[in-house]
Amino acid sequence: MAQPIVEVRGIAKRYDGGVQALEGVDLDIPAGRLTTLLGPSGCGKTTLLKIISGLLEPSEGDVLVKGEKVTGPGPERAFVFQDFALLPWANVTRNVAFGLELLGVGKDERRETARKYIASVGLSGFEESYPHELSGGMRQRVGLARALAVNADIILMDEPFSAVDEQTRRKFQEDLLNLLNIEKKTVIFVTHSIEEAVYVSDQIVLLSPRPGRVSNIIRTDLDRGAGVDEIRRDKRYLDCVEDIWKELKEYLV
């Protein structure tokens, strides 16, 4: 078996005031797959995601990316924030190119790369638009394009579809799967939705209530070759949703 691209070893996180968010988390993230962190509110999903990204230090344990210990953010990881985190004074092209600008990439190359990924997320024609002129779904597409533009191996997504309506959410899920089929990135994804987790994921990591621990790892084993439209009709999809709900429901009693 190939070495995982991300290895989480004995991660614990305690906040000031004694709140224990995570305890003893061990987890392997396979390369080129989408892994979702799923669990009840307050179980530490976003905390774990930020520790993997290097935005937050663990109280105990280590995260390894390609065998190297994480000590902070790195160019091999890109974060797509729940609240879009766009520059309000910059147009779409500048927002998408912002990470490249920080990396010192030349202006012409930045612009060319930005336009490529703007097109890949379906925003051609909006290159000169500003965030306030875009819908929530469009702003989130800009955030995804920005993450793709820096050519990071790993994309971390914190509830990226929670701020959009249900129709937009479903379309974005489909677009994400189709895009990742081309880009072959490793994605670590946080959501509260069981249906969304099963639909988009190759691997689902269930976390227990605080302090969050890995309670189960589920591999969805869905036939994505049939196309994203068929996934929700697949009996394996329906059974997986129901099995996860039964397990999570025990935490709500």
Going by C-alpha positions, the residue among 245, 228, 236, 160 that lies closest to residue 194 is: 245
Mean pLDDT of 33-57: 93
Mean pLDDT of the chain: 89
226 pLDDT tier (thresholds 50, 70, 90): low
Q: Is the pLDDT score of 130 beyond 60?
A: yes
End-to-end CA distance of the chain: 38
- Give the separation between CA 36 and CA 232, rounded to whole angstroms: 17
Domains of the chain: 1-76+157-253 (3.40.50.300), 83-151 (no CATH)
Torsion of CA 196, 199, 203, 205, to 10 degrees: 20
Give the model's pLDDT for residue 2: 65
Query: Beta-strand (E) ranges in 54-142?
Result: 60-65, 68-69, 77-80
- Give the separation between CA 188 and CA 159, rounded to whole angstroms: 10
Mean pLDDT of 194-222: 92
Q: Is the pLDDT score of 225 beyond 70?
A: no
The sign of the CA dihedral 33, 204, 149, 6 is: negative
Give the pTM. Answer: 0.88
Give the model's pLDDT for residue 50: 95
